[in-house]
Copies of this chain bind each other. A is one copy, B any other.
Amino acid sequence: MCGIVGLVSSGPVNQQVYDALALLQHRGQDSTGIATAEGRVLHMAKAKGQVREAYRTRDMRSLLGNSGLGHVRYATRGTASSEEEAQPFYVNAPYGIILVHNGNLTNTRELTRELNEVDRRHLNTNSDTELLVNVLAHELQQQVTISTDLDPDQVFAAISRVHERVEGSYAAIALIAGHGLLAFRDPFGIRPLVLGRRLSESGQHEWVVASESLVLEAGDYEIVRDIAPGEAVFISQSGELISRQCAANPRLIPCSFEYVYLARPDSIMNGISVYEARLRLGDRLANTIAEYAPTGDIDVVMPIPDSSRPAAMQVAQKLGIEYREGFYKNRYVGRTFIMPGQAERKKSVKQKLNAMSSEFRGKNILIVDDSIVRGTTSKEIVEMARSAGAHSVTFTSAAPPVRYPHVYGINMPTSNELVAHGRKIPDIARELGADHLIYQEVADMQSAIIEGSDITELEMSCFTGDYVTGSVSPEYLTWVEANQNS
């Protein structure tokens, strides 16, 4: 999970990129980076932690220039070298390219071999972003001629080659030093990327591309459109935009998890309001609950703050049951320091949630969560409700059972750690300690999300096991699980 943004402006962009990253902070909090282009000169700063902690005034002062890009990153567990894998990644030939990426490549083994043995390029980390920028650099190098300077046609030709060589999900933004900003999206448009425009006070076009539309709204940009699957957009330093479809068979199949959990509710992606998609997920879930659960004696419907609130509100309204907020979310979670001679503390959901017992005592509770992944949090929530005095607990999930790994850029545990992997629903209910357990149906999730839009397909592999890119074989999944890092 990552968030990206790129800007071509008529004035300094450092604070604008910073502000955009703060708005995308929910997409990744482990590290962050900003790069800017000041004519031919690139400036970069990256650091661990949240945006607010990561940048010092002197970093910001060094980020000169009117175009720039930024990244927030959610690192995967066990990545010792995670600091060196912070984005953006830079290559100095041809032209100087600096790139940020949201997504996950699935043919990394083939690409690594090719780059090492054929292209003879250096890969300093295990990051798939370093692979992506090197493939792009190599293909752009092939286009270089002595007689002419960089031409957008050359850029688009290189992106076409990238689409041929690279598999997986990738929404990416790059600065090409001295030339402009390039944004492109994989041929299935799995990860989001939206384009915005505004006029500067002096009448110049200013452009933004970002993972979520709320960045545009906050900056008073007009939403132009989503970058299309397979499309590349090149914006020169002076603000001219040229775009081209660079994929052979583009097909829009966006990731369903953005709507279920990842994106902010006030974003619009691929023409679909995330907030309204969540309301519809609540509506459909209410139907399934009504059909399968004994709702007659339910006293209250409760969300797990913050992401399941819209679905829960809709479930309550549709079932005609009172909506109450019995869980309080603690916003300020501290660190655990390892002291010599002390054992490490157990992580507990109690650090993040607290139950208001007056809302639970003696009641039959229906809890709505956005999804159930490992199940450990859900289990603790059920326990918390019971020890606050709940008489019975019905647990519901606005998403279907998560049964397969997610390989397109959402961090998830391995199959064996998924509570729904290889289990039937009653077994899962027993595992969670819930009196009843209701999941959204797969078809309902799909129709709830795409209703009213032009979209016909969704990337739902973690629910169905069907992967859209060719390189995802059972052998690949086994390898990924053994070498977890994205």
Contacts and interface: CB of A to CB of B under 8 A. Distances in A.
A281 to B, nearest CB: 15
B124 A96 contact: yes
A51 to B, nearest CB: 6
A119 B92 contact: no
A342 interface: yes
Interface in A201-253: 214, 217-218
Interface stretch (A163-171, A321-329, A368-376): A321-329
A356 B266 CA distance: 6
Given A93-B91, A273-B358, A328 B42 contact: no
Nearest to A328: B266
Contact of A266 (B61, B120, B134, B354): B354
Interface string A68-99: 00000000000000001000000111111100
A482 interface: no
Interface in A314-357: 317, 322-325, 328, 330-340, 342, 345, 350-351, 354-356
Interface stretch (A15-23, A191-199, A427-435): A15-23
A264 interface: yes
B322 A317 contact: yes
Nearest to A303: B325
A15 B276 CA distance: 42
Interface in A24-65: 25-26, 40-43, 50-53, 55, 57, 60-61
B93 A356 contact: no
A406 interface: no
A188 interface: no
B15 A93 contact: no
Nearest to A90: B92
B93 A119 contact: yes
Contact of A331 (B21, B57, B117, B331): B331
A473 interface: no
A334 B51 contact: yes
Contact of A18 (B21, B40, B116, B334): B334
Contact of A92 (B19, B116, B121, B337): B121
A124 B41 contact: yes
A21 B122 contact: no
A389 interface: no
A14 interface: yes
Contacts of A94: 120-122
A309 interface: yes
A276 B359 CA distance: 10
Interface string A132-143: 001001100100
Contacts of A310: 325
A12 interface: yes
A18 B345 CA distance: 14
Contacts of A442: none
A52 B334 contact: yes
A12 to B, nearest CB: 7
B138 A122 contact: no
Contact of A15 (B96, B118, B218, B336): B336
A304 to B, nearest CB: 14
Contacts of A334: 18-19, 21-22, 51-52
B95 A92 contact: no
A118 B146 contact: yes
Question: Which 7 pairs of residues, A with B, have the shortest CB-CB distance?
Answer: A96-B122, A22-B334, A25-B332, A93-B121, A60-B337, A94-B120, A266-B354
Given A50-B332, A60-B337, A124-B177, 17 more contacts: A15-B336, A22-B334, A25-B331, A40-B123, A41-B124, A43-B84, A52-B332, A52-B333, A52-B335, A61-B339, A93-B93, A94-B120, A120-B150, A217-B354, A310-B325, A317-B322, A323-B323
